[in-house]
Amino acid sequence: MFGSLRGKLIISYALIVILTLFLAGTGLTYVLGAYQTQLRLNQLADLTLPLAFQVRSLDRPGIPQSDVAAYLKAQASFLNVRILLIQPNRQVILDTNDSLVGQTLPVPSGETNRGAGTMQWGVLTDKSGDRLVYASALLRGDREPAFGNMPVPRASDAVRLVVAVPQDRLTSAWLAMAPNLIVAALIAMVIAILVAVLFARSISRPLAQVTRASERMAKGDFDQFILVRGNDEVGQLAASFNTMAREVGRSHQTMRDFLANVSHDLRTPLTSIEGFSEAMQDGTIQTQEQYRDAARIIADEAARMHRLVEDLLYLSRFESGQIDIIRSRLNLSDLLQGCVRQVQPQLENAGIKVEFDAADLPAVLADEHRLEQVFVNLLDNAVKYSPANAEIHVRAYPVTEAQNGAADSRPDRGASRWVAVDVHNTGSYIPADQTSRIFERFYQVDRSRTGNAGSSGLGLAIVREIVQAHHGKIEVASHPDQGTTFTVMLPAA
């Protein structure tokens, strides 16, 4: 479990929770410790003034000082504090714990007014190293009372009453809260881990679906689809996987069609060559005229196979980037007129008219020989798929960036950025569900319509590769009544 993504997510969430609790507990310890110290100082200050006034009221004739000392010890025991009387020279004259009498303590000299008395509070350290949190008030008098054998100075001087508690007691009070804090932290961690399990499950489940679907695709089942939930990264992964599965399935089907078409296109000439060769060997063909016909058919079929293999190699080299595009500045109108002249014999034999229209065109940077292949192939297909007395229209025109559907914020956006060439024939129609496939290898809308044994079914695939190599694009539009139009878009120089 812990080696899976789900387990790793749960562990990472748990570690984050533990670290957060530790940091929060550390910060809480610091904040509450300081707060508790200040709160205790305020409490000591609230105790100090009443005790100071009480001691002042007991400091009169007839009341033994031992009674005052006993009173302070009783109050210290009841309040769970330590009470000291300190002379101005910082010598302790009374300690309810009886350990600091006669010692000198470093009580700070700064004073703060609080209510009706003059107060001090802070932390002091005795000679034994113990730290005491204290609050103190001045005892002022107009007589000379004595505590034991130690006289108290006159009113011009002052005795300080100090109420203190060991600082360790504050720490122990904080530690007393630790078990409750630990229990709260454990409860928080358990809840956080349960929530982490739910989150990890929501993340890992679609990933597991992608994994299982990928394994099925590896076994040849390409019909995979994952339900997309949400627009987060996991949802985008599922959507991308569905797109990939669809494209892989289509590519696999294209490859199967390709192999089937290659097999078909090679089987036919091979069968003819094999049949006529056997006829020549077994004596079925006897006359000179029959030998010449058989040799001609064998030569034609061999040439057809040669063209097919050459087209395959040419297309493969194009797709692998092994054919260089040698660009030069071309006048596309002159190039198109030359292409029309090349197919003129086929046009005349089929009785098809051509209308040519090329406005003032910007130059293009292109490989003249490759573009000639493109337009001769498109014109040749238009002739093959058009009935007699049909018309072919060749039209070239400039296209601005905005007309091409691209956003362009440049100042000269009205300038011609593209050159479009339409090759339209009025006598053919390509069904809408097949227009996306006509550029695939060997794909033909109707293989029986060409009536041309030399057709390899690779022409449009080669056309698309050449156009894309020029950073252009090719589109097709077909209508039963208006015919079919191939549009080649090339970037202007």
Q: What is d(CA 210, CA 88) in angstroms, rounded to the nearest whole number?
A: 83
First to last CA, the chain: 61
Helix (H) or strand (E) holding 476: strand 473-479
| DSSP alpha helix (H) spans, 219-353 | 233-282, 288-319, 332-342, 344-350
Bridge partners for 360 per DSSP: none
Single out the residue of 40, 207, 45, 177 nearest to residue 111, CA to CA.
45
Parallel, antiparallel, or unpaired: how do β-strands 353-358 and 391-400 relate? Answer: parallel
How many whole angstroms from its chain centre is CA 92? 71
Q: Positive or negative, the Cα torsion across 203, 205, 211, 213?
A: negative
pLDDT for 144: 41
Q: CA-CA distance, 474 to 464, in Å (whole number)?
A: 7
Q: What pLDDT sits at residue 221?
A: 83
Averages of pLDDT over each 10 residues, the chain, 493 residues: 63 78 72 70 80 78 78 87 84 83 66 52 72 77 42 51 78 63 78 77 76 84 79 79 85 75 77 86 82 86 82 74 82 90 87 86 89 90 83 89 48 65 85 78 57 60 87 89 90 87
pLDDT at residue 422 in the model: 93
Residue 460: per-residue pLDDT: 85
Tokens of 17: 């929770």
Which are the contacts of 90, defined by CB distance < 8 A and separation ≥ 6?
104, 105, 106, 107
* Domains, the chain, ordered by start: 5-173 (3.30.450.20), 233-319 (1.10.287.130), 328-491 (3.30.565.10)
**Confidence (pLDDT) at 270:** 86
Say what the pLDDT of residue 171 is. Answer: 60
- Rounded CA-CA distance 49/73 in Å is 16
Q: Got the DSSP string for 3-20?
A: TSHHHHHHHHHHHHHHHH
Burial of 297 (0-12, 13-18, 19+ CB in 10 A): middle
Other residues' Cβ atoms within 10 Å of the Cβ of residue 339: 23
